């Protein structure tokens, strides 16, 4: 009796599953994006450039990218610190703190924006303290950066945390026996191992920042040329029924997000090659 050859497919019904996945991907993701690109192309290059290079649009780019950079710098420190605490220490309430890291994913961004506005307004709990030293948070650039940091910090924590959990402590112990100090161990042993995931998390967080809308509009003040972000300008153009202008601005944000995702995928590929070498 001859043995039946084993199926080379990993999952039963792989062809059907793959076809269904690609169908939904095309309908939900690719088709709207292609429609956006087609609508933008129909407007002509002159009209497109007039919209995306206007003074107001350029101001929104500077504000959005500047606030996103500030939020990413904050997340670079706080996100790494939080991932380290959750992995390397045991303390009461650790599970609760770990669950709170996912709160920005579950919480409606509009609710987050209203809460942040109440806290950082001049009469808010935190805003009063900043106002006494002459720092304006709500309805200014710092408020935009805080809202962006709130919604994007889980990307850094959840990207770095599993890598830290899988990191073997024998290398750190060997470095310690050789006389390395804690900071040297972190800089030369731990940080190089988590660096690909760390950069990927920061890139994902930055991409989330430039596309954030709900958490920002309530705390930004939305002053043109001062605190107006790109996503809000897109919304304003839609309310004005200027669909070509909205499509042009949305296309710019789409290209920026695509480039960031491309960078993230390249970093993840580098991470896989690094893991094989190690």
What was the pLDDT predicted at 186? 85
What was the pLDDT predicted at 209? 92
Domain membership flag for residue 9:
no
Q: What percent of the chain has pLDDT over 70?
A: 92
Domain membership flag for residue 16:
no
What was the pLDDT predicted at 175? 79
DSSP for the chain reads: -PPPPPPS-SSTTHHHHHHHHHHHHIIIIIHHHHHHHHHHHHT-HHHHHHHHTSHHHHHHHHHHHHHHHHHHHHHHHHHHHHHHHHHH---TTHHHHHHHTTHHHHS-HHHHHHHHHHHHSTTSTTHHHHHHTT---TTSHHHHHHHHHHHHHHHHHHHHHHHHHHS-THHHHHHHHTT--HHHHIIIIIHHHHHHHHHHHHHHHHHHHHH--HHHHHHH---TTTT--HHHHHHHHHHTT-HHHHHHHHHHHHHHHHHHHHHHHHHHHHHHHHHHH-
What was the pLDDT predicted at 106? 85
Instruction: Give the model confidence (pLDDT) of 7-62 as tens digits.
Output: 555 555 667 777 788 888 788 877 777 777 777 777 778 888 888 999 999 999 99
What was the pLDDT predicted at 11? 54
Return the axis-axis angle of helices 243-277 and 31-42, rounded to nearest 10°: 130
Domain membership flag for residue 79:
yes
193, 176 in Cβ contact below 8 A? no
Domain membership flag for residue 105:
yes
- Residue 96: CATH number of its domain: 1.10.3720.10
Residue 140 vs residue 267, higher pLDDT: 140
Return mean pLDDT, the chain: 85
Measuring CA to CA, how many Å separate 81 from each of 85, 143, 156?
6, 22, 10
Q: Summarize the confidence of residues 241-264 as an average pLDDT.
A: 87
What was the pLDDT predicted at 274? 61
Domain membership flag for residue 133:
yes
Instruction: Show the domain range for 212.
Output: 21-277
What was the pLDDT predicted at 65? 94
Residue 72 vs residue 28, higher pLDDT: 72
Q: Summarize the confidence of residues 243-264 as an average pLDDT.
A: 87
Counted domains in the chain: 1
Place 2 in a pLDDT band, splitting at 50, 70 and 90.
Answer: low
Domain membership flag for residue 70:
yes
Domain membership flag for residue 267:
yes
Domain membership flag for residue 124:
yes
């Amino acid at each position: 009796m001859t043995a039946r050859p084993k199926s080379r497919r990993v999952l039963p019904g792989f062809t059907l599953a793959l076809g269904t996945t690609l169908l939904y991907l095309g309908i939900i993701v690719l088709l709207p994006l292609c429609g956006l690109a087609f609508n933008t192309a129909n407007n002509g290059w002159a009209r497109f450039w007039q919209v995306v290079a206007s003074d107001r649009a350029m101001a929104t780019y500077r504000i959005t990218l500047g606030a996103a950079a500030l939020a990413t710098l904050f997340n670079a420190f706080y996100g790494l610190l939080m991932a380290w605490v959750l992995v390397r220490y045991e303390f009461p309430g650790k599970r609760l703190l770990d669950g709170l890291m996912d709160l920005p994913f579950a919480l409606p961004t509009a609710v987050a924006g209203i809460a942040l506005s109440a806290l950082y307004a001049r009469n808010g709990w935190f805003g009063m303290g900043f106002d006494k030293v002459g720092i304006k948070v709500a309805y200014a650039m710092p408020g935009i950066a805080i809202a962006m940091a709130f919604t994007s910090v889980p990307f850094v924590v959840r990207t770095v945390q599993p890598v830290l959990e899988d990191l073997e402590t024998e290398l750190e112990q060997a470095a310690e026996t050789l006389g390395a100090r804690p900071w040297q161990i972190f800089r030369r042993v731990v940080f190089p191992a988590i660096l690909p995931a760390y950069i990927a998390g920061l890139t994902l967080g930055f991409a989330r920042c430039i596309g954030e809308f709900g958490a920002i509009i309530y705390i930004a003040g939305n002053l043109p040329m001062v605190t107006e972000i790109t996503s809000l300008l897109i919304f304003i153009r839609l309310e004005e029924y200027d669909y070509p202008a909205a499509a042009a601005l949305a296309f710019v944000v789409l290209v920026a997000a695509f480039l960031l995702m491309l960078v993230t995928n390249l970093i993840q590929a580098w991470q896989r090659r690094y893991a094989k070498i190690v």
